[in-house]
Amino acid sequence: MRKILNIFIITAVIFSLAGFINKSVAQSNPQNKDVYNEHLMMATLYQQHAAECKALYYQAFNLAKMMLDKDLANKKLKGKRAVVVDIDETILDNSPFEAAMMSKNASYPEDWYVWTSMASAKALPGALEFLNYAAGKGVAVFYVTNRTEKETAATLKNLRAEKFPMADTLHLIPKKTESSKESRRLKIMEKYRIVLLAGDNLTDFSAVFDKTSLETRDAKTTELRNEFGKRFIVLPNAMYGDWERAMYDLYKSDPTKDKSDIRKLLLKDF
């Protein structure tokens, strides 16, 4: 009996060690398929199925239209008008890509270019109506995205398929070398007055949010609170964003903590 018990204990220890080793390998090797992305499940389901999420998009673009109309009605304002929008999770829905990452137990950027080359992302609620309304009022529409230049053709194909206005190389401004969108916004401002900016990431609005900590992001959001709903139009995206990177950065000096550990550590309970 004691011999059987000893064998059972040794077997349990071996399996425990194997699990620990496999997890450690997965953390050290980004190509390993065991990427622990189950946390995306509820966020992706929310994006795809929650009527509340759909309502937030309609609310945001309804508000954008109200603010644009207010600006158009002000005859004292001079210069050519423009609205600047992000693409991913702002006007085009990439939640099928996130779902695919879960089913494959993979993570971005794996297969990202495969997805964008399909040019099959659907327009998000209210986006098409608002941008076509703006274009119809003589307002320039600029798509400032961190999709890369090699994705330009496929992105334009996607925008045109969904019937977005001004879908051309003049109005689509992809990332060249840097992720910050500030220089691209400033370039637009040389010829236009930007009435509104719409995006799902705070870096879509101002350089003060570029590569900042959780604490700074929070503080700057409070400082700029009067701009949200007025000049900055925020869209919902719980699947990914700079907020996630900022969380992981809190523990980047501690190699013993993986992303799953960090997410749990940052949860506030009672």
What is the CATH number assigned to the segment(s) 37-265?
3.40.50.1000
Identify the pLDDT of residue 33: 47
pLDDT tier for residue 174 given thresholds of 50, 70 and 90: very high
Tell me if 103 sits within 8 A of 38, measured CB to CB.
Answer: no
pLDDT in tens, 63-104: 999 999 999 999 999 999 999 999 999 999 999 999 999 999
How would residue 37 be classed by pLDDT, with cut points 50, 70 and 90?
confident
Residue 26: pLDDT above 70? no
Residue bearing the bigger pLDDT, 140 or 19: 140
What integer pLDDT is reported at residue 203 of this predicted model? 98
Indicate yes or no: pTM above 0.85.
yes
The number of CA neighbours under 13 Å toward the Cβ of 161 is 13
Position 49 scores a pLDDT of 98
Q: What is the DSSP string of the chain?
A: -HHHHHHHHHHHHHHHHHHHHHHHHHHH-TTSS----TTHHHHHHHHHH-HHHHHHHHHHHHHHHHHHHHHHH-TT--S-EEEEE--BTTTEE-HHHHHHHHHHT--TTTTHHHHHHTT-PEEPTTHHHHHHHHHHTT-EEEEEEEEEGGGHHHHHHHHHHTT-TT-STTTEEEESS-S--HHHHHHHHTT-EEEEEEESSGGGT-GGGTT--HHHHHHHHHHTTTTBTTTEEE----S--HHHHHHHHTTTT-TT--HHHHHHHT----
